[in-house]
Amino acid sequence: MAIPTKDSLLLNWTTNFNTRGTASPVTFGLVIGQMTAFTALFNSFVSAYNASNVPGARSKSLVTAKNDAKFALLANARELYGLIQANTTVSDANKDLIGVAVRAQPSPQPAPIDPPALDIVSVVGRTVTIRLHNSVTTGRRGKPAGVKGASVFSFVGAEAPTDPALFKFEGNTTRTEVDVTFPLSVAAGAQVWLTAFWFNERAQSGPACTAISTNVQFGSAMAA
Query: If pLDDT is split at 50, 70 and 90, which confidence band does 160 have?
Result: very high
Q: How much of the chain exceeds pLDDT 90, in percent?
A: 82
**Per-residue DSSP letters for 4-38?**
P-SHHHHHHHHHHHHHHHHH-GGGGT--HHHHHHH
Instruction: Give pLDDT, residue 69.
Output: 97
pLDDT digits (tens, 9 = 90+) for 73-132: 999 999 999 999 999 999 999 999 999 999 887 777 889 999 999 999 999 999 999 999
Query: If pLDDT is split at 50, 70 and 90, which confidence band does 138 have?
Result: low
Span 11-19, average pLDDT: 97
Query: If pLDDT is split at 50, 70 and 90, which confidence band does 224 have?
Result: very low
pLDDT digits (tens, 9 = 90+) for 17-41: 999 999 999 999 999 999 999 999 9
Domain ranges of the chain: 7-98, 117-222
Span 11-22, average pLDDT: 97
Q: Is it the case that residue 177 has pLDDT exceeding 80?
A: yes
Q: Is it the case that residue 215 has pLDDT exceeding 70?
A: yes
CA 53/CA 43 separation, integer angstroms? 15
* Arithmetic mean of pLDDT over the chain: 92
CA 31/CA 22 separation, integer angstroms? 9
- pTM value is 0.55
Instruction: Give pLDDT, residue 223.
Output: 44
Instruction: Give pLDDT, residue 139.
Output: 60
Displacement of CA 216 from its chain's centroid (Å): 41
CATH number belonging to domain 117-222: 2.60.40.10
Which run of H or of E encompasses 199?
A: strand 191-199
Q: Is it the case that residue 185 has pLDDT exceeding 80?
A: yes
